Amino acid sequence: MQSVYHIPALLSETVNNLNVKPDGHYVDVTFGGGGHSRALFKLLNNHGHLYAFDQDIDAQQNSITDPRFTFIHSNFRYLKNFMTYYGEIGNINGIIADLGVSFHHFDSEQRGFSFRFNGPLDMRMNKSATLTAQQVVNQYSVEQLTQIFRLYGELPNARQIAQHIATEAQQHSIDSIEQLNDIVIPLCGKDKEKKKLACVYQALRIEVNDELGALRQLLLSSHEILATGGRIAILTYHSLEDRIVKNFFRSGNIEGNIEKDFYGNILTPWRVINNKVITPSANEIATNPRSRSAKLRIAEKL
């Protein structure tokens, strides 16, 4: 088993930009290996509190044993529900969301997140969820698969890949990573094989876990949950997520529609902390290559 559950990207940049108050209340909506949470938790005094969400029950093994820490086994799309339960609406001083997939998931053959291993086509972050990647590739129509690969994988030959998968699925069930790779690799081209495979798997993972839907719900509930002056820091790893976050912070709405007042000032309930996106340094990428695509954006509730 992989000894390192996860190495957090942009750790100091994320925590430092939250402007942590020692007695504040915070939420890490993507607990994982607990890297960001532990760094933040060290800054809290006896009056501070940290809530941590993770939909994968495996993450609970990394919990912090302290009455000032609360682990919540749930998808962060239900953030508002749980903060309402704990009486924290309008009281949270900061939110961290690291939208990357943990090492624990990528390096587990049985979870099916990586094309590097042969294993079942699963890809569920929450192991009790019903939809798997195996069901997607075998049950979705050519049109549905095309849309997934085009929107979530940004693949130029999305329909070709979808057609080949659907044709194979009519002949026999596609149940393993090896089977899927055998279908997709001939359509990738030698020079871009790994990159295109990664896009295929990304698209399936996003569909299985409704990742963009969950992100939109998180953003929509974040303003109500935060106290005035509270901050939200979000780490994204592909253009789809980053575009949603950037547009939301600029406009205050998911669609990214800019509204201005009489004087031409943009009407938004957020103050963007970093107009230029924060990315990992060369040193960080050298020690943690998986951090190379990370982008950090921070905004403050007005």
Rounded Cα distance, 136 and 134, in Å: 5
Least confident of 121-130, 140-149, 154-163, 185-194: 185-194
Helix locations, the chain, DSSP H: 11-16, 35-41, 79-85, 103-106, 133-139, 142-151, 158-171, 177-184, 193-209, 211-225, 239-251, 282-287
CATH 3.40.720.10 fits 125-209, yes or no: no
Cα-flanking dihedrals φ and ψ of residue 40, to 5°?
-70, -40
Tell how far CA 101 is from the center of its chain. 7
The pLDDT value given to residue 61: 94
Question: What is the pLDDT confidence band of residue 4, given thresholds at 50, 70 and 90?
Answer: low
Domain with CATH 1.10.150.170 in the chain: 125-209
Rounded Cα distance, 259 and 238, in Å: 27
Q: Per residue in 56-74, pLDDT tens? A: 999 999 999 999 999 999 9
Rounded Cα distance, 50 and 186, in Å: 48
Q: What is the pTM of this model?
A: 0.94
Rounded Cα distance, 209 and 152, in Å: 12
**What is the 8-class DSSP label of residue 257?**
-
Query: In this structure, are residues 134 and 165 in contact, taking their beta carbons and an 8 Å threshold?
Result: no
Cα-flanking dihedrals φ and ψ of residue 62, to 5°?
-100, 10
Q: Per residue in 130-148, pLDDT tens? A: 999 999 999 999 999 999 9
Rounded Cα distance, 190 and 22, in Å: 53
Q: Per residue in 223-272, pLDDT tens? A: 999 999 999 999 999 999 999 999 999 999 999 999 999 999 989 999 99
Which of 103, 17, 91 has the alpha carbon at shortest distance from 51?
A: 91
- Percent of the chain with pLDDT strictly greater than 70: 97
Q: Is the pLDDT of residue 105 over 80?
A: no
Domain with CATH 3.40.50.150 in the chain: 11-103+211-301
The pLDDT value given to residue 1: 38
Rounded Cα distance, 182 and 270, in Å: 47
Query: In this structure, are residues 99 and 234 in contact, taking their beta carbons and an 8 Å threshold?
Result: yes
- Neighbouring residues of 228: CB distance < 8 A, sequence distance ≥ 6: 301, 302
- Region 40-64: what's the mean pLDDT? 96
Cα-trace Rg, the chain: 20
Q: How many C-alpha atoms does 72 have within 13 Å on its Cβ side?
A: 21
Assign domain 11-103+211-301 to its CATH superfamily.
Vaccinia Virus protein VP39 (3.40.50.150)
